[in-house]
Chain A
Amino acid sequence: MSWTRRKGCSAVTEVLKYLLLLFLVVCAIAVAKTRDLLSAVIIFAAYSLIMAILWQLLAAPDIAITEAAIGAGVTTLLLVAAITKTRREE
Chain B
Amino acid sequence: MEDIIVRYVTRIILPFVQLYGLYVVLHGHLSPGGGFSGGAIIGASMILYALAFNLSAGSKKLSHDVSSALESGGALLFAGMGIFAILLGTNFLGNKVAGIPIGTPGNLFSSGAIMIITFGVGVKVASTMITLFYSLIEGEDHSHDHD
Contacts and interface: CB of A to CB of B under 8 A. Distances in A.
Interface of A: 61-62, 64-66, 69-70, 73-74, 77-78, 81-82, 84-87
Contacts, number: 52
Chain B, interface size: which category?
Answer: 20 to 34
Nearest to B31: A61
A74 B136 contact: no
Interface stretch (B38-46, B62-70, B87-95, B106-114): B38-46
Nearest to B132: A78
A78 B136 contact: yes
Interface of B: 24, 32-34, 36-37, 40-41, 43-44, 47-48, 51, 129, 132-133, 136-137, 139, 141-143, 146
9 contacts: A62-B34, A65-B37, A66-B33, A69-B41, A73-B47, A74-B44, A77-B48, A85-B142, A86-B146
Give the residue among A64, A66, A69, A85 with the most B Cβ atoms within 10 A: A69
Secondary structure of the B side of the interface? Answer: helix
A86 B142 contact: yes
- The 7 A-B pairs at the shortest CB distance, nearest first, are namely A69-B40, A73-B44, A61-B32, A65-B37, A62-B32, A66-B37, A69-B41
Secondary structure of the A side of the interface? Answer: helix
Nearest to A72: B44
B24 A65 contact: yes
Nearest to A87: B146
Given A62-B34, A66-B40, A74-B40, 17 more contacts: A61-B33, A65-B33, A65-B37, A65-B41, A69-B37, A73-B48, A74-B47, A77-B47, A77-B48, A77-B133, A78-B133, A78-B136, A81-B137, A84-B143, A85-B141, A85-B142, A86-B142
A1 to B, nearest CB: 23
A73 B126 CA distance: 13
B37 A62 contact: yes
